[in-house]
Amino acid sequence: MSIPLRKEDEIIKLREACKLASDVLVMIEPYVKAGITTGELDRICHEYMVNVQKTIPAPLNYHGFPKATCISLNEVVCHGIPSDDKKLKDGDIVNIDITVIKDGYFGDNSKMYIVGETNIRSQKLVEAAQEALYVGIRTVKPGIRLNEIGRAIQKYTEAQGFSVVREYCGHGIGTEFHCDPQVLHYYADDGGVILKEGMVFTIEPMINAGKKEVRLMGDGWTVKTKDRSHSAQYEHQIVVTATGCEVMTIREEEEKAGRISRIMLNV
């Protein structure tokens, strides 16, 4: 396994891409309301990325993916394809996953949105998915095993009465969309990988209200929970630092909440 260690000049470019990616999630929030379709949300994001930010939407045509964003609704775990047939309604929970390319560097993040008010179980699921991400981020520091991230996320998630999806994981990222390491969100063999300063990767736990099993739909992309329970996910892109990590896709709302910070001092 060859894991790139990014130098400062690369990290500067990755910060820019990550800020732009997080800006899209902020921009789209007012549009996430009952009555809009996921296809319309995708077009708004696409136009903003291309015409305002002058970025490239990384998912578009990636291995044949047909849209600029992944939008996953309710029981969809990940890789939901936006469609004009999918109209949001009150009570829905929806994940919007944004990855942009700026000057050859990738920024990748996602967050959950609740349409109106949802049921208590789904509300708690969304909150737990965000905290599971933060638990993973608080674990990151040089010198630890990679699988300590997954151990912490799994322990927290299962204590809340939810399950962690096994088939999909975080990933290295930089001048490629996906590279080593694979960041599992449960405890498993990591091949002995030790975190080092300069490693850049995403943490993006997918948390199910029911059982952990998932199924791939006939379109070859959309992943749903097998038991049709709701699923939630948050994602950040981070770089390992000498004292912990830097959360490169952090949003202002998160910094104000104080649960994580851009510079995490985890040692």
97 is in an annotated binding site: yes
E-state strands within the chain: 56-57, 70-73, 76-78, 93-102, 105-114, 163-164, 170-172, 179-183, 200-203, 206-208, 214-216, 223-225, 231-233, 236-241, 244-247, 263-265
The answer on whether 230 is annotated among ligand-binding residues is no
> Does the annotation list 108 as a binding residue?
yes
Residue type, 58: A
Q: 240 near 140, Cβ under 8 Å? A: yes
Q: What separation, in Å, do the N-terminal and C-terminal C-alpha atoms of the chain show?
A: 26
The answer to whether the annotation marks 204 as part of a ligand binding site is yes
Backbone angles phi, psi at 109, to 5 degrees: -160, 165
Q: 90 labelled as ligand-binding?
A: no
R_g of the chain computed on alpha carbons: 17
Cβ-based neighbours of 189, under 8 Å, separated by 6 or more:
147
Residue 92 annotated as binding?
no
200 burial class (0-12, 13-18, 19+ CB within 10 angstroms)? Answer: buried
Query: Does the annotation list 171 as a binding residue?
Result: yes
- Please check whether residue 88 is in contact with residue 35, taking contact to mean a CB–CB distance below 8 angstroms: yes
* Residue positions forming the annotated binding site for substrate: 79, 178
* Residue positions forming the annotated binding site: 79, 97, 108, 171, 178, 204, 235
* Residue positions forming the annotated binding site for a divalent metal cation: 97, 108, 171, 204, 235
